[in-house]
Structure 1
C-alpha cells in the first residue's frame, strides 16, 4: 500500500502539519492503519472500526473464494456479492430477520434468498468488475508489518492514540484479533482504547448499530 504516500503528499501540499483524527472502517480501516505506519507523528487519533492492521487467514481464505468467483462466474459481481453478504452478517442476524419465511410474491423462494439476490443485483449497478477486484485485493493484503520487522517494531515510533472498535459477532474482522492487538498495545505502553459494539448483526453492525457507535465515538472525541 505504498501508494498511500500520495495522500500524505497531498496533506503536505496543503500545509497540514497535524490531523486530529483518522477514521477508517473495514478495508478503509486497514488503509488507515498503514497511514499511521507511514506517518507516525501526523495523526493525533486513529479510530479503527470493524477492521484490523492485518488480513487474517480467514479473510485471506474468503478473499480467495471471492477471487475465484470473480474469475470464473458468468455473473461475477452478482455471485461474489452473494458470498460476501454471508461474511458481513451472522447466522443469528439472518434468523432474526427472515425466520425461514417464504417470499409470497416469488414462491418457492424464501425471503433470505430473494434478499441475497437483491443485493447481488444492486451491486452490479454500483461497481465495475475491475473496481471490485481491486477492493478484494486490498482487503486480502492488509498488513502494516509487511516489509517491516513486526507489528511491534512499526508501532514503536507511532505517537498516535489508537482507538479500536470491534463487534462481538463480527465473523470477518473477528473481535478476538482486535482484543489481541489492544493487549499488545497495552503491553507496549501505548495510548490505546478498545470498545465493542454488542450486536447480532456481524461485520455490518457498525452500519446498523449507529446509536452504539455514536456513544462510543463521543467517549473518544
Structure 2
C-alpha cells in the first residue's frame, strides 16, 4: 500500500526551494528491530512507488521482489518511492503550489537525479533507518543508485545499478529530445499550463512510441511482428496498419491514461543532466567516494545504456580497489530486459545480496 510523508522543504540543485513536499512510497516486508534489513528500490522514467504491489495490483518489479522471490520480502524490508517531479503521488508539476493554490505546471523548478536522491534520503531518515542494506534500480533508477553511492557513501552496504550508466549517452539524450519536441509541439501543451485539461495527449503518445522503439530490439520486433498486417484485405489502402504500428500506438495511448506530460518532460531533463562526475572533478573522482560493494549488470543490445559504459565504471572501481561484481546478460529484449529477464537477472541479485547477508540481521521482530 502506498503511503505518504511530508518533507517541510528541500533546496534543489538549481537553487530553488520547494516547501511542503509530499513523497509517496510503498513498503513491503518487516523492518527488523535493529533496522538493518532495509532495501531501497529506485524506479525508472514512468515507474512509481508500486514495485511490489499487492494481490490485486502486481508491482512493476514483482517478478524480482516479493515473498520468496529473488529479493525476499520475508527477509528484507523493501522501500520504493515515487521520484521528485513525478506524477504518482510525489510532488511534481501537476501538484498544487502551496502558495498559489494552482498547479505548478512549467513553473515547477528543474529537478536532477541528485534532487531525487536527496528527497529519498529524507524519507529513509524519516523512517528511522540509519543505514540501508542495499539500494537497487534499473535505467533511471540505476542513475539514482549511482548518485546514492556518491552522495551518501556511508548510507548503504550494497548498491546494484542495472541497465544504466554513470552518465547518460549522447544517443539517449538525442532520443529524449525527439520525444520532448513531440510534446512541446503539441498545441495542447500550452507552455505547460494545461491543467485541469488533458494536455498534450498526442505529443506524449508519440514520445512514448519513440521510447518503446529504443527500449526493445529490432530482433524482438521482427520475431513478434515482422511485416504482418492487422487486416490483410486492406493492404493497398493508405490507412492499412502493420501490427508493429498498432502495438506502438497502443503503448502511446496506454501511457497517456496514467502519466502526466509535464512530468515526462521534467524527468527526461533530469536524465539528460545525469553525470555523476559533473561538478566533482569527473567520474573517476566521484567514484572514489563509493564505499559500498557494487553489483553492476548490463544487458546486451541496450541502445540507451551500452554495456561499455557500465564496464568503464567497473574498471575504474576495480582500479581503485573497490569491491565490484559485473555481469553481462544476453537478452533479445534490449534495455527492457531489466523489467523482463527475471530468470537471468534475479539469481545474480539474490546471490549477491545473500553473499553479504551477514551485513544485516534477518530478525523479523516488529518495529
Q: Structure 2-normalised TM-score? A: 0.58
Matched, 1:154 2:286: yes
- Distance in 1 separating the partners of 2:326 and 2:335: 16
Question: Which residue does the alignment assign to 2:270?
Answer: 138
Q: Which runs of 5+ in 1 are unaligned?
A: none
Q: Which runs of 5+ in 2 are unaligned?
A: 1-111, 188-201, 235-239, 354-367
Q: Is the CA contact 1:27–1:138 (under 8 Å) kept in the aligned structure 2?
A: no
How many angstroms does 1:195 deviate by? Answer: 1.0
Higher helix residue share:
1
Question: Which residue does the alignment assign to 2:314?
Answer: 182
Decide which structure has the larger Cα Rg and report it.
2
How many angstroms does 1:114 deviate by? Answer: 0.4
Matched, 1:36 2:168: no
- Distance in 1 separating the partners of 2:118 and 2:248: 37
Matched, 1:59 2:172: yes
Higher strand residue share:
2
- Alignment map for 1:89-168 (pairs within 5 Å): 89-104=216-231, 107=234, 108-168=240-300
3-state SS, counterpart of residue 41 of structure 1:
coil
How many angstroms does 1:7 deviate by? Answer: 2.1
- Alignment map for 1:22-33 (pairs within 5 Å): 22-33=135-146
Question: Which residue does the alignment assign to 2:335?
Answer: 203
Change in Cα spacing, 1:31 to 1:105, as seen in structure 2 (3 Å) is farther
- Distance in 2 separating the partners of 1:12 and 1:209: 32
**Count of aligned residue pairs for this structure pair:** 221
- Distance in 2 separating the partners of 1:79 and 1:9: 35
How many angstroms does 1:180 deviate by? Answer: 1.5
Q: Is the CA contact 1:31–1:142 (under 8 Å) kept in the aligned structure 2?
A: no
- Distance in 2 separating the partners of 1:87 and 1:192: 28
- Distance in 2 separating the partners of 1:205 and 1:97: 15
Matched, 1:21 2:153: no
Of 45, 48, 72, the match for 2:185: 72
CA distances 1:18-55 after superposition (whole Å, capped 9, x unpaired) = 11110111111111211111101111111111111111
Structure with the greater relative contact order (CA < 8 A, sep ≥ 6): 1 or 2?
Answer: 1
3-state SS, counterpart of residue 257 of structure 2:
helix
TM-align CA RMSD: 1.6
Q: Is the CA contact 1:197–1:206 (under 8 Å) kept in the aligned structure 2?
A: no
Question: Which residue does the alignment assign to 1:82?
Answer: 209
3-state SS, counterpart of residue 126 of structure 1:
coil
